[in-house]
Amino acid sequence: MKDDDTKKKLLELIEQGAPIAKACKKVGIHRDTFYEWKKDDGFGIAVAHARLYCLAETNDAAEYWMHAWVRQGDKKSVYKWLDSQNPMFMRDAVKITFRDDGPTLDEDAVPSGFTKEDFFMVLGAHELSGMNSFNIEGLSKNLKREYSAWKEANRNRVPNGWPEDSR
């Protein structure tokens, strides 16, 4: 009977958005116990329903506030709404093509609102990842020059230096 009450409290906390570890701590059980209980089809399904309920409630609340902010004229909210809801304003995703000589980012595929700084950070992050070097050969000479200057200006932000520094 105690387990049933504990499970009920857990489900209520999950419906309210509590992370599993926090919910378990609050009802006084170990997380391993929760995951053992979850193997039971009935409780596992109840947990899935609780999470879906929480997600639906959260989405409803977020949508309510987004509508309110758009009606108030908050520019960021207006842009976000149009970007996610109106095909005329949706931005293309950044397109990265993987080829034998490494990934290439098409300059023309960079979405509006994606600054050069953002673009250079993507290039730099890829370089630092240790994967094949980013193929920048398709970029304009001017953009290559700007990227090199950006790397030089941001050298102090990279603890171990850029990959070519360590060669």
- Specify burial of residue 47 (Cβ count, 10 A radius: 0-12, 13-18, 19+): buried
What is residue 135's predicted lDDT score, i.e. its pLDDT?
57
Residue indicated by tokens 């980012």: 105
Choosing from 85, 119, 143, the residue where a domain stops is 85
Q: Give how many domains the chain has, as a whole number.
A: 2
User: What does the pLDDT read at residue 107?
Assistant: 53
Domain enclosing residue 102, as ranges: 96-166
Same domain, yes or no: 121 and 77: no
d(Cα 110, Cα 51) in Å, to the nearest integer? 36
Of 31, 57, 85, which residue constitutes the final position of a domain? Answer: 85
Among residues 66, 85, 104, which one ends one of the domains?
A: 85
Same domain, 31 and 103: no
Buried b (16+ CB within 10 A) or exposed e, 1-35: eeeeebbeebbebbbeebebeebbeebebeeeebe
Same domain, 106 and 42: no
**90 belongs to a structural domain:** no
Low-confidence ranges of the chain (pLDDT < 50): 93-94, 98-100, 102-103, 132-133, 165-167
Kindly state whether residues 34 and 78 are assigned to the same domain. Answer: yes
Residue 38 lies in a domain: yes
C-alpha distances (whole Å) from 119 to each of 59, 83, 105, 162 are 31, 19, 9, 17
pLDDT at 109: 54
Same domain, 109 and 50: no
Residues 63 and 105 in one domain: no
Rounded CA separation 26/13 (Å):
9
